[in-house]
Every structure is written in structure tokens, then in C-alpha cells.
Amino acid sequence: MATLALLLGLPVQLKSIQHHLRKVQEHDKRDIVVAYYCLLYGMQTGMKIDSKTPGCRKFLSKLMDQLETLKKQLGDNETVTQEIDGCAHLENYALKMFWYTDNEDRAGRFHKNMIKSFYTANLLIDVITVFGELTDKNVKHRKYARGKATYIHNCLKNGETPQAGPVGIEENNNVKENEDVGATSLPTQPPQPSSSSTSDPSNLATGSYSGMQISPGAPANIPAKVPHSTASQGDICLTPEDVAGAQKYCKCAGSALQYEGVGTAMQNLQKALRLLTTGRE
């Protein structure tokens, strides 16, 4: 999937999604599931920005065609059909890249690939929002990765030696996208999270294709209902959605522990416990 073809005809109104779309091509061979969600994020975000202007409508239609192609290419894959698996896979990948780069930074091994890795981690954490709101921890990771990418880029550009760790970050809270940062090459051997596979993706978009209708809140290929009966916990009747939500929080907690994210794991476990004991998030 060529980036130039994917970005061809990108309207100026949708310029903010160009870096996310570049990740589609970069991960086409490396991790096709990550590429899929980057493309889905680009389309959903583009729909929110402008789906009525003729140029934007035409471009978003092209993205839909690409999604259909990618859907066929993926075939049977649980990380696409199941929200819990997809969220865990994408978060694992993004955080592994973040921690890899953070370790390089704290060891003082500064290079252009580090800039791109921090910036890519920032973009991939953006993509996690196709599953809903980010955890507080991931919001901080995204902010930190974006700030460090800009800080190290500016230091190297000005011939200065960057400082390791959380230095020069706070003043970059509102960093704008930087073309130079986005254009730096990726590490030759980036982290490779594992993927899993089983059943066929369902609809990529809700509503009609020709009408360009899509639900922006979550990946449109995720089943709307969990086929299990209502569970009971004391006087609390849990719906299938409650049970699925608790499972999601538990799985995200396990994912966080793989990368020493104890705080995030505890937050997710607390959410799961609250949901199971009160029936409310």
C-alpha cells in the first residue's frame, strides 16, 4: 500500500491526518493490524473534520476503498473482529515503541531514529482512541513522546546535545506537527509486538457506503453485542456489555503490567471491579 497513493489528493482540510496515514504504509509489512487501525483512525478523524466538501468526500471514499482492500487482506483476524484483542494489540505495540525509545533516551543514545520513534509512539497512541477515551497514563505517554520528539529534534538541528529524561517537555505542551520530525527514518529494528488471528471482519462502516456514514466512536467492525446472557452479582444485574467492559479493563491491565505500567494496571482493575460491583463505570 503506497503512501504516495494513499495521500494523493489529500485536501488541505484533512492535513492533520497525513502523518497517521503515513504509518499505514510504514506498517503494511511490519504489522498489518497496526496499519489497519491507522487507516481506520485516519478515515474516522477525517469524517469528523469534513465529510461534506466534495474534495474531502472524494478522498474519504478512497480511504474506504483501501479499508475494504485491507479487510480482505486480513481475512480471519481476532485483533480486527474483537475490540478487546484489537485494543490490547495496538496498545502493546505503541507502548513497546515508547519504552524502547525512552530507554534509548535515558541511556543518552541520541539519534534521528529516536525522534521518529517517539513521534510514531505519539501517533499510535492517538490511534488507540478508535476504541474510546485514552487512560490517563496513555495521555501522559502521548504528551511526553510528542514533547521529547520535538525537543530532541530541535537540539540536534541547532547542534546542541539533548539532555536525557523529562527535560524540555513542559514548555512543549502545545507542540504543533513538525514535517521534519515526521519525515525522519524509523529504527532499522523496531519492537515487534505479536499478533493473533481468527474470524472474518464484519462491516467496516455503519450505514451506507455511498452516503459516507460511519460511527466515529469506535471501530465500526466490532460486534455491537456480546452473545452471552445477563449475569447477576448480588442485587446487581450485569448486562453482556458490562461483562465485556470488565473483560476489556482486565485485559488492558494485563497489557500494562507487561511494560511496568503498574499505575495504569491498577486503574483498569479498579474500573473492572467498580463495573462488576455497581453495574456502572
Q: How far apart are the first and last CA of the chain?
A: 40
Select from 188, 205, 239 the last residue of a domain. 188
- DSSP annotation of 229 reads P
* Residues 131, 96 share a domain: yes
Query: Which run of H or of E encompasses 231?
Result: strand 231-233
Q: How many angstroms separate the most distant Cα atoms in the chain?
A: 66
Task: Assess if residue 264 is contained within a domain.
Answer: yes
179-192 burial: b if 16+ Cβ within 10 Å, else e: eebbebebbeebbe
Angle at which helix 83-106 crosses helix 112-127, to 10 degrees, equals 160
Task: Assess if residue 209 is contained within a domain.
Answer: no
Distance between CA atoms of residues 97 and 107, nearest Å: 15
* Residues 236, 176 share a domain: no
Give CA 120 to chain center in angstroms.
Answer: 10
Residues spanned by the domain of 236 = 231-278
* Residues 58, 139 share a domain: no
Distance between CA atoms of residues 112 and 184, nearest Å: 6
Residue type, 220: A
Distance between CA atoms of residues 260 and 238, nearest Å: 31
In the numeric block, the cell 496513555 is attached to 138
Share above pLDDT 70 across residues of the chain, in percent, rounded to a whole number: 69
* Residues 140, 77 share a domain: no
When pLDDT is cut at 50, 70 and 90, the band that residue 97 belongs to is very high
Task: Assess if residue 210 is contained within a domain.
Answer: no
* Residues 39, 2 share a domain: yes
Q: Return the higher-pLDDT residue of 204 and 182.
A: 182
Give CA 109 to chain center in angstroms.
Answer: 26
* Residues 139, 55 share a domain: no
Distance between CA atoms of residues 271 and 246, nearest Å: 7
CATH of the domain at 139: 1.25.40.270
Distance between CA atoms of residues 252 and 266, nearest Å: 10
Select from 48, 65, 81 the last residue of a domain. 81
* Residues 91, 70 share a domain: no
Q: Return the higher-pLDDT residue of 164 and 169.
A: 164
Distance between CA atoms of residues 24 and 168, nearest Å: 30
* Residues 114, 58 share a domain: no
Distance between CA atoms of residues 242 and 258, nearest Å: 25
The model's pLDDT over 122-163, given as tens digits with 9 standing for 90+, comes to: 999 999 999 999 999 999 999 999 999 999 999 999 999 999
Residues contacting 263, CB < 8 A, separation 6+ = 137
* Residues 61, 127 share a domain: no
The model's pLDDT over 211-250, given as tens digits with 9 standing for 90+, comes to: 333 333 334 333 333 333 345 555 567 776 777 777 777 8
Residue type, 214: I
Task: Assess if residue 47 is contained within a domain.
Answer: yes
* Residues 94, 184 share a domain: yes
Q: Can you tell me the mean pLDDT for 89-93?
A: 94
Distance between CA atoms of residues 90 and 3, nearest Å: 21
Contact 267, 135 (CB under 8 A): yes
Task: Assess if residue 193 is contained within a domain.
Answer: no
Task: Assess if residue 33 is contained within a domain.
Answer: yes
* Residues 30, 101 share a domain: no
CATH of the domain at 241: 1.20.5
Task: Assess if residue 225 is contained within a domain.
Answer: no
* Residues 6, 65 share a domain: yes
Coil, helix or strand at residue 201: coil
The model's pLDDT over 17-48, given as tens digits with 9 standing for 90+, comes to: 999 999 998 998 899 999 999 999 999 999 99
User: What is the total count of domains within the chain?
Assistant: 3
In the numeric block, the cell 505500567 is attached to 261
Select from 131, 164, 188 the last residue of a domain. 188
Distance between CA atoms of residues 38 and 19, nearest Å: 10
Task: Assess if residue 199 is contained within a domain.
Answer: no
